[in-house]
Amino acid sequence: MLQKPNPRYYTDDHEEFRRSVRRFIFKEVEPYANDWDEAGEFPKDLYKKAADAGLLQVGFPEQYGGIECDSFYKVILFEERAWGGSGGVVSGLFSHTIGAPHLAMAGQDSVKSAVLPKILAGEKIAALAVTEPSGGSDVASIKTTAKLKGDHYLINGSKTFITSGMRADYLTVAVKTEGENGPEVSLILIDANSPGITRSPLKKMGWWASDTAEIFFTDCRVPVENLIGKEGEGFRLLMKNFNNERLALAAASCGYAQVCFHDAYQWAKNRVTFGKHLSERQVIRHKLVDMATKIEATRAMIDDLASRLDAGELPFAQIAMLKNFSTQTFQFCADAAVQTLGGMGFMRGTRVERLYREVKVMMIGGGSEEIMKDLIAKRLGF
């Protein structure tokens, strides 16, 4: 944190929560993040530990074991997670934050009661499966089908790039159902261990500690009660959660940018070249100032938009601007941090080296930069 949180938005309770998240991250994640990333996975008991610390429940209904709260708690959670220095660990650990909200919002009570408490207790893992090999940006063009056959749907198709796809017990899957006016997007909760499902892991540039999978559905039977909302409501439900998801992504990006600033600053204070500390060089000081400026601007946008969401506004364009701005801030800070650390910034095991490799996914997932710009132009009316 470069500057104290703005007291207009953050209460003592928020700050107590911030301290508890940070304690958890520094005790349970940060010391192991590098080893887990190199190993390509993190231990499954981390879900239970995160649930015991009250982190998995944030933002979910109390009725199912969640903790209802304002957007600032979510901002704090996503920002503070960054101190672990591994997007891979936390994107896997918190995949339910994209995999379970639609169920909580519009699922049948019987399904919610059976599934949500286990996910929020860290006993089961949830993932969201929208993207397909033929494309992720154009959600309306997905090809996976759900055909109604009496008391169940028959699912056929495939999904790709799915975070926690290998480990997940439950998948919220975007499918095409047959509507009166032709195929329409629907959401359905699928038990990931059902017959007819096969999964294979994918290797990637960063986020090594999280699993990312391709998932195939062949005549997979799913009970009709697992439909989330009504047939044809899938697109609306996905859009409904996008503002929250993008605010969370922005808070995470801002958090990673702060970690980059922190590590660059510490290095610059200690490293001596040509008889002086790097931090005494104007070029390096200006680099740090540019990082700090972008972080403060991102933080101001986050606070403003979190309060507007809590007030019931739907600032789609501004949230999309924030999503792009925050990921660009992260990209700038990761690049500046690696440059400041010099050769050490390029070494495996250095935190900013890992973060540098993790920037791109933030600019692609949750709505890519280009898609955000199209949305902004449309919302602003040009």
Ligand X SMILES: Cc1cc2nc3c(=O)[nH]c(=O)nc-3n(C[C@H](O)[C@H](O)[C@H](O)COP(=O)(O)OP(=O)(O)OC[C@H]3O[C@@H](n4cnc5c(N)ncnc54)[C@H](O)[C@@H]3O)c2cc1C
* Cα–Cα distance, 260 to 270 (Å, whole number): 16
Cβ at position 212, least distance to ligand X in Å: 5
Residue 5 vs 99, nearer CB to ligand X: 99
Which of 267, 226, 281 is closest to 109 using CA atoms?
226
Out of 6, 11, 113, 137, name the contact with ligand X by CB under 6 A: 137
Residue nearest ligand X by beta-carbon distance: 136
Instruction: Report which secondary-structure segment, H or E, holds 158.
Output: strand 152-163
Ramachandran angles phi, psi of 145, nearest 5° = -110, 150
The distance of closest approach from Cβ of residue 13 to ligand X in the complex, given in angstroms and rounded to an integer, is 31
Size of the site for ligand X (CB under 6 A): 20
How far is the C-alpha of 287 from the C-alpha of 294, rounded, in Å?
Answer: 11
Residue linked to tokens 């006993």: 123
- Cα separation, 302 vs 327, in Å, equals 12
Output the smallest distance, CB 132 to ligand X, in A. 8
Rank residues 11 and 134 by Cβ distance to ligand X and give the closer one. 134
Report the nearest approach of ligand X to the CB of residue 167 (Å): 12
Q: Which stretch binds ligand X (CB under 6 A): 133-141, 192-200, 228-236, 298-306?
A: 133-141
Contacts with ligand X in 144-163 (CB under 6 A)?
Answer: 161-163
Of 269 and 373, nearer to ligand X (C-beta) is: 373
**Can you read off the two tokens belonging to residue 156?**
């056929």
Say if strands 145-149 and 126-129 run parallel, antiparallel, or are unpaired.
Answer: unpaired
When the beta carbons of 210 and 350 are compared against ligand X, the nearer one is 210
Contact 237, 226 (CB under 8 A): no
Query: Cβ closer to ligand X: 190 or 288?
Result: 190
* Measured distance CA(174)–CA(184) in Å, rounded: 10
User: Does 141 help bind ligand X (rule: CB under 6 A)?
Assistant: no
Q: Is 142 in the site for ligand X (CB under 6 A)?
A: no
Catalytic residues: 245
Q: Which residues contact 161 (CB under 8 A, 6 or more apart)?
A: 131, 136, 202, 212, 214
Which one of 370, 377, 378, 380 is in contact with ligand X (CB under 6 A)? 370
Contacts with ligand X, residue ranges (CB under 6 A): 127-131, 135-137, 161-163, 204, 207, 212, 361, 364-365, 368, 370-371
